[in-house]
Each structure stands twice: as C-alpha cells, then as structure tokens.
Amino acid sequence: MTDWKVPLYRPETGPAEADAVAEVLRSGWLSTGPVTQDFEARYAETLGVHGAVAVSNGTAALHLAVLALGIGPGDEVVMPSLSFVSAAATVTLAGATPVFAEVSSGHDLCLDPADAARRITPRTKAIVAMHYGGHAADLTALAELARSHGIALIEDSAHAPATRTPHGVLGTVGDIGCYSFFATKNLATGEGGMVVARDPALLAEIRRLRSHALTVSAQDRHRGGPSVYDVDGFGLNYRPTEIGSALGRVQLAGLPAAQARRQAVVRHYRENLADLPGITVPFADRLVEESAHHLFAVLLPQGTDRAGLQDRLKTAGIQTGVHYPPSHLFTAYRKRFGTGRGDLPVTERVTDAQLSLPLYAGMGTEETTLVVEAVRQAWTAP
C-alpha cells in the first residue's frame, strides 16, 4: 500500500474497542446475541425510534428493506444513479427494475424530487433517497411524493448514522432507514449495518427475514428454548457478529465527538478552498452542523484532467477518490436495462467532475493543512 501522508480515510479505533472485542471473545458467544441486542436498543434510543435490527452490512440492510416491502418481478424502484451500486443490485436481485434518476445539481448531489416524480409509473413500488456524503436529501418533497403515489420511501443512510437535520433524524423520516457500518463509515465496525422502520410490523418482518425466517433463534435454543424450529418464510443469513456489535456500541458512544472533529475539518476546507477558480463545493450553502460529513466532495471545472490532478496529489502523499461512478453506466446495468451515457446528463456531468478529498475524524489541523496546501499547489501546477 502507498504510504500516504494523508489517506482518504482512517478508521478511528483504540483501547475501548480492543477491550470490547476481548470481552466478547471471553464470553464464548460470537454470533448474534445479547451484545447485539443491546447495540440495537442503544441505536434505537439514539435515533428516537421504537426499535432497530442490526445486520451484517449495509447491502443486507437494503436487501431486507426490498424483501420486506414485497418488491419483486414487474416492480420498479426509483433511485439516484449517483450512489454506490448496492441499492441497484438489491432491487435487481429481487427481480425488479432500478429506475435511475437525476441528482438536483452540482450544489446538491442528492436525488432530485422533480426528476424522481417524472419517472414514477404504475409499476413503481418505492423510492430510494440516498443522503450523499451525509447530507440530507429533500425528504420533505420525497416523502410527500411517496405518500401521494402510495409507495414506500427507503432512506439509504449509509453515510449518515444518527444525523439530525431540519428534516428530522436521517433514516427515520421514510418508511425504512438503512445504515452501513463498513470500515470507512463514520460509525465503523469493519462490516455491519442497521435497519429501522416506522411500522413495528415491518421491522418485525425485517428481523424475521434476517435469520432464515426461523421461528426459534439460536440464542433462544441455547437458553433452553425449543430445540426444534419451523421456517415460515424465505429468509437469509444477514445476522451480525457480537464482535461487530461490541465495536458498534463503542463507536456509537464516541460518535458525537467524532462528528464534531469532522465538522472542524470541513470548516477548514471550506474556508481555504473556496477561492480556487472554477472549484464547486457541493452543499456549501448548508450549515456544517446539519451533515454527517462522511465525504468531502468537490467538483472540478469542465475539461479538467482529473487523473492528472490526482497523480499530482498522490505524489504529494494525498489520497483522493471518486464517489461514485454512476450505476447506470456500469456494464451489467447497460446490458440488463439498456441504460447508457446521455440518459442522466446532470449526473454524468457531476460524476465526470467529482473528486473526494480526505476526511476522517482523526484528521487534525496539520493533516488538513497538508491537504489544502497540496490541493492549491496541484491546482496551480502546469
């Protein structure tokens, strides 16, 4: 691996996480059990919801949402193409069709409610609102759009754990909220995720599908419950481990302080990059406190040699990324659904111009200054 001066991300773990994992190992119970149940309860309390279901990863969370809503062959789900491919994959694997829609603009990289409305048909079963980089999509407009058509609103809150905004806590406004605790996320357990739902019956269905639709769990059998179980549906093994849940409890407790440190990095970026000619900083008109700040994205002027800029930053020891290649241009989706370049001109302009700079809670002033200086030098280099 490259010895980065400042990597794109760096997970923040320490003695508390190590102690939590060691305690699980000493307990002798590694799969879903009491630690997971406690993590679920703490997460639900933090969000102010009636319950939460921990799962093995964020893709599992999205897949369970699709399955619990009964989405299948012949159905359509409207979603942004500017997102990680997992939402489109889970819909496709259910036999339904992902219908890709535009983002609002270069200043707002979340799903455009007006374009989403134009793509709704009698076959539409749900809308997926992805909170890009931890910034809230227009949930007021999207929730009203979903209600007016009698369809579900799924919040892809992979970038926004326990994030309070003027719209509400992200993930709790729509019918189902899905979170990811992947190693790069603000709340990181290596792999992991969580699902919440407004309807308790829907959340119970998600919990049932998480573990093969078994009528008796392994933990219940271990406690002396019935040793024989039935299977009353078609579920999957999307259970988390106790190790991941132990990490999650520690990370959840430290999340407010970590978020404050991310906000400080973003303030520094905004103050010191705003004068670069042609650079657009999406969401810069929003208050810093209203986002989880999972990503710090900038948009480069049309015609910029992005790869060349990235190479100059790499030489300076600064890692960068692109979030994300648009889903509608991936080979599998072009072949399966006939999508292609020109379908989403706003999204395509954004994704051609987007560049992610390092952002993680452990970044101090020294690292942030290094990035700013490297960007300014690379930007003015011939």
Q: How far apart are CA 210 and CA 31, in angstroms?
A: 13
Q: Which amino acid is at 85?
A: V
Q: How far apart are CA 183 and CA 40, in angstroms?
A: 19
Q: How far apart are CA 165 and CA 47, in angstroms?
A: 12
Give the C-alpha distances (Å, rounded to integers) separating 63 from 60, 92, 105, 169, 218.
5, 10, 28, 22, 22
Give the C-alpha distances (Å, rounded to integers) separating 211 from 31, 94, 208, 214, 295.
12, 18, 6, 6, 32
Smallest CA-to-CA distance from 379 within 351, 355, 363 is with: 355
| Tokens standing for residue 172 | 């709790």
Q: How far apart are CA 214 and CA 194, in angstroms?
A: 20
CA distance from start to end of the chain = 28
Q: Is the Cβ–Cβ distance between 155 and 176 less than 8 Å?
A: yes
185 is catalytic: yes
Give catalytic residues, as residue numbers: 185
